[in-house]
Amino acid sequence: MHVSPVLRFEGIRIRPGELHFMSLAKRPIRKIVILGGGSAGWMTAAALSTSLQKDCEITLIESEEIGTVGVGEATIPPIKVFNRMLGIDEATFVRETKGTFKLGIQFVDWAALGNRYFHPFGTYGRPFDLAQTHAMWLEARSRGLEAPFDDHCMAWAAAKAGRFGQPATDPRNVLSTFDYAYHFDAGLYAAFLRRRSEAAGVVRLEGKVAHVAQNSETGFVESLTLEDGRTVDGELFIDCSGFRGVLIEGALKTGYEDWTHWLPCDRALAVPCELKEMTPYTRSTADVAGWRWRIPLQHRTGNGYVYSSAHISDETAATSLLANLDGAPLGEPRPLRFVTGRRKAFWSHNVVAIGLSSGFMEPLESTSLHLIQAGISKLLAFFPDLDFDPLTIREFNRISDAEFERIRDFLILHYKLTTRTDSALWRDCAAMSLPDSLEIRIEHFRRYGRIVTADLDLFGPPSWQAVHIGQHNWPERVDPILAYRTVDADDWLSRLRAALAAGAQSMPPHKAYVEQVCRQAS
């Protein structure tokens, strides 16, 4: 008969095999402090209170005296995933935030004055063999096809007709080939999430931070002291304090990587105006020193001018913005100053930066709220225990670096691929040197019309196709695979355009859809 030996540790009897389970003893975090409200703070609070369902205190500190940026009111499709994770009903969400639907972004005057193109959510055509729709279109264009590339995607067929409906679930239907996101009031979204978070147990404290206490040996943040003397201790701190980065930079001095030599705009003005047309898309119009946005909501239109202060004065920028509104302004333009770039560390010690405290990308492709969502998703995927394993922190930062750089390159693409020479900004952008990671992608398309993908790309091939073609980066040759195909490209593309147009007409008008499904409360 075999007798298992018994080990003794301070009176505890442990048999072989049990030591492994002892090494997995949990050291869970019990106190989380979120510094800052707005979209970043309340999106983080809502996600954590949904995911951490027991034995964890979540406190959010914000001050009504500190305004939120509130620039981002347009989103990209992944926001739907975030809302579903929180269990938010779409109609309720759109109603509570006075939102509308978004099928993509129309770019005006970017490649050249008078030029327009559309960046759609979804695909061009339907994939059915190795030859992609954009390659077939490029080949047909070389033989004289006049139909714009935009006309070969479902999102634009619906957008230009002013229509919207839910995508079909049958992949054989062209109505399954588009996606969508939202326009909404970011302040109302934060308030909506605040109500949900507080109902789930998140404690909100009003106040400003006067002092950050750090451990003298480790540098870890231990507590925050507010101006009224209250002290809030924690184990994990989420910095949502905006550009100031009170914890990630003010306390931990992580440093900042400046990208203004590639993305020169450093200021913005934002102003709402009366709603004239509820288009199901965002519009971005290039101006002499930057670009202007137009975002239609249920109750107003959001407008802004993102510009380079080296190329235009604040006063001239404000005049240009106000002169190009669809309706009467509903206030004075609000100024915003920023430096495009990112923190050198998104997570340091026991502090994670989410939102503007982690870096800033101008809202050209509506990524502001997405970067908040992405930071939250990574935090949940790499959620720490009290050991704060450096391996976990390094991986979080590695992925964050790559995500920011991939978005950076996609934004630079818009500025670089311009033929405009009417102002100094556009001449400077056309002449600027590029990151190697972008240079090779431009060259691949210039030679063969091919899209080279990269790890952690937020924007897929259709997005890159839209900008390359929309801004006239015409390939020198067509994809060699086309020489082996027997399909009549002209006939196939013609039938595709007809199917997309018919699909768009089967949808209700965008405004009617909003009013029927999720009209704002009176």
Query: How far are the Cα atoms of 135, 340, 477, 485 from residue 481, in angstroms, in the given order?
Result: 9, 40, 11, 7
Give yes or no: residues 227 and 360 share one domain.
Answer: yes
Sign of the Cα torsion 482, 486, 490, 493 reads negative
The one-digit pLDDT tens for each residue of the chain (522 residues) are 433 333 333 444 445 554 444 455 579 999 999 999 999 999 999 999 999 989 999 999 999 876 555 555 899 999 999 999 999 999 999 999 999 999 999 999 999 999 999 999 999 997 666 678 999 999 999 999 999 999 999 999 999 999 999 999 998 899 999 999 999 999 999 999 999 999 999 999 999 999 999 999 999 999 999 999 999 999 999 999 999 999 999 999 999 999 999 999 999 999 999 999 999 999 999 999 999 999 999 999 999 999 999 999 999 999 999 999 999 999 999 999 999 999 999 999 999 999 999 999 999 999 999 999 999 999 999 999 999 999 999 999 999 999 999 999 999 999 999 999 999 999 999 999 999 999 999 999 999 999 998 888 999 999 999 999 999 999 999 888 888 888 888 999 999 999 999 999 999 999 999 999 876 554
Tens digit of each residue's pLDDT (9 = 90 or more) over 416-440: 999 999 999 999 999 999 999 999 9
DSSP line for 203-226? EEEE--EEEEEE-TTT--EEEEEE
The owner of tokens 């701190």 is 237
CB atoms within 10 A of CB 56: 17
Judge whether 342 and 358 are in contact, CB under 8 Å.
Answer: yes
Which regions of 274-402 does DSSP assign to beta strands (E)?
Answer: 282-287, 290-296, 301-307, 334-337, 341-343, 347-348, 351-353, 359-360
Cα–Cα distance between 38 and 73 in angstroms, integer?
A: 13
Give yes or no: residues 209 and 322 share one domain.
Answer: no
The owner of tokens 């990524």 is 367
Residue 31, judged by CB atoms within 10 A of its CB (0-12, 13-18, 19+), counts as middle
Of 157, 142, 120, which is closest to residue 465 (Cα–Cα)?
120
- Annotated catalytic residue 511: no
The active-site residue out of 102, 160, 378, 511 is: 102
Give yes or no: residues 295 and 420 share one domain.
Answer: yes
Strand partners, 14: 7
Give yes or no: residues 256 and 369 share one domain.
Answer: yes
Query: Residue 2: inside a domain, yes or no?
Result: no
Sign of the Cα torsion 15, 21, 25, 26 reads negative
Give yes or no: residues 197 and 253 share one domain.
Answer: yes
Please, which residues have CB within 8 angstroms of residue 165's CB and are 6 or more apart in sequence?
A: 158, 175, 506, 507, 508, 513
CB atoms within 10 A of CB 49: 22
Query: Residue 238: inside a domain, yes or no?
Result: yes
Helices 424-431 and 390-416: crossing angle, nearest 10°?
120
Tell me what pLDDT residue 4 has: 39
Give yes or no: residues 369 and 463 share one domain.
Answer: no
Count of residues making up the chain: 522
Query: Residue 356: inside a domain, yes or no?
Result: yes
Tens digit of each residue's pLDDT (9 = 90 or more) over 119-170: 999 999 976 666 789 999 999 999 999 999 999 999 999 999 999 999 999 9
What's the chain's average pLDDT?
92
152: three-class secondary structure by DSSP: helix
Give yes or no: residues 355 and 485 share one domain.
Answer: no
Phi, then psi, of 165 in degrees rounded to 5: -160, 170
Query: How far are the Cα atoms of 56, 160, 265, 365, 465 from residue 282, in angstroms, in the given order?
Result: 40, 12, 19, 10, 18
Tens digit of each residue's pLDDT (9 = 90 or more) over 310-359: 999 999 999 999 999 999 999 999 999 999 999 999 999 999 999 999 99
Q: What's the distance, CA 367 to chain centroid?
A: 2
Phi, then psi, of 282 in degrees rounded to 5: -85, 150
Give yes or no: residues 63 and 121 share one domain.
Answer: no
Amino acid identity, position 158: A
In which element (H, E) is residue 228 found? none
Q: Where are the alpha helices (DSSP H) in 86-222?
A: 90-96, 133-142, 154-160, 186-199
CB atoms within 10 A of CB 66: 13
- Per the structure, how many domains does the chain have? 2
Judge whether 241 and 35 are in contact, CB under 8 Å.
Answer: yes
Query: Residue 91: inside a domain, yes or no?
Result: no
**What is the DSSP pairing of strand 7-9 with strand 256-258?**
unpaired
Query: Residue 39: inside a domain, yes or no?
Result: yes
Give yes or no: residues 271 and 316 share one domain.
Answer: yes
Give yes or no: residues 122 and 221 share one domain.
Answer: no
Cα–Cα distance between 450 and 470 in angstroms, integer?
A: 15
CATH number for the domain harbouring residue 133: 3.50.50.60
Query: Residue 98: inside a domain, yes or no?
Result: no
Strand partners, 302: 272, 295
Cα–Cα distance between 237 and 349 in angstroms, integer?
A: 10
Query: Residue 117: inside a domain, yes or no?
Result: yes
Phi, then psi, of 371 in degrees rounded to 5: -65, -30
Cα–Cα distance between 282 and 467 in angstroms, integer?
A: 15
Give yes or no: residues 143 and 119 share one domain.
Answer: yes
Cα–Cα distance between 173 and 178 in angstroms, integer?
A: 11
Q: Which pairs from 398-402 meet CB under 8 Å and 24+ separation?
A: 399/456, 400/342, 400/346, 400/347, 400/358, 400/374, 400/375, 401/342, 401/346, 402/455, 402/456
Domain limits at 497? 104-147+262-337+415-501
Cα–Cα distance between 420 and 290 in angstroms, integer?
A: 12
Tell me what pLDDT residue 24 has: 57
Query: Residue 129: inside a domain, yes or no?
Result: yes
Give yes or no: residues 248 and 345 share one domain.
Answer: yes
Cα–Cα distance between 30 and 17 in angstroms, integer?
A: 30
